[in-house]
Chain A
Amino acid sequence: MEKIQYDYPAQHTVKQRVHVGVVGSGDLEVLLEPSPDARTHVVVNTSVDGFGATWKNVLDRFFARFHGAVSIEINDFGATPGTVMLRLGQAAEGLRA
Chain B
Amino acid sequence: MNTDQAARAGYRRFLERRSFIEMNARERVRAVLDPGTFREMLDPFDRIKSPWLPLQGIVAQADDGVVLARGTLQAKPALIAAIEGAYQGGSMGEVSGAKIAGALELALDDCAQGRLIWPVLLFETGGVRLQEANLGLAAIAEIHAAIIALRRYVPVVGVIAGMVGCFGGMSLAAAVCTHLIVTPQARLGMNGPEVIEQEAGIEELDATDRGLIWSLIGGEQRYAAGFADDLLEDDADAVAAAIRKAISTGPASARAPARSMQVERYAELIRAIDPDQPPDSESLRRLWKPKALP
Residue in A22, A25, A46 whose beta carbon sits within 8 Å of that of B61 in the complex:
A22
**A residues in contact with B88, CB < 8 Å:** 23
> Is the Cβ of A47 less than 8 Å from the Cβ of B58?
yes
Q: Using a CB-CB cutoff of 8 Å, which residues 58-109 of chain B contact chain A?
A: 58-62, 65, 84, 86-88
> Is the Cβ of B45 less than 8 Å from the Cβ of A19?
yes
Are A23 and B87 also in contact (CB < 8 A) when A1-B58, A29-B61 are? yes
- A1-B59, A23-B65, A29-B61 known; 4 new pairs, CB 8 Å cut-off, are A22-B24, A24-B86, A75-B59, A76-B59
**A residues in contact with B60, CB < 8 Å:** 23, 45, 75
Number of B residues contacting the other chain (C-beta, 8 Å)?
A: 16
Residue in A1, A19, A24, A45 whose beta carbon sits within 8 Å of that of B44 in the complex:
A19
A85 contacts chain B at the CB level, 8 A cutoff = no
**B residues in contact with A19, CB < 8 Å:** 43-45, 62
Distance in angstroms from B286 CB to nearest chain A CB is 40
Are A73 and B62 also in contact (CB < 8 A) when A19-B44, A29-B44 are? yes
How does the 8 Å CB contact mask read for A23-59 relative to B, with 1 for contact and 0 for none?
1110101010100000000000111000000000000
Q: How far apart are the CA atoms of A75 and B58 in the complex, in Å? A: 10
> Is the Cβ of B58 less than 8 Å from the Cβ of A17?
no
Are A1 and B84 also in contact (CB < 8 A) when A73-B62, A77-B59 are? no
Distance in angstroms from A70 CB to nearest chain B CB is 13
**A residues in contact with B59, CB < 8 Å:** 1, 23, 45-47, 75-77
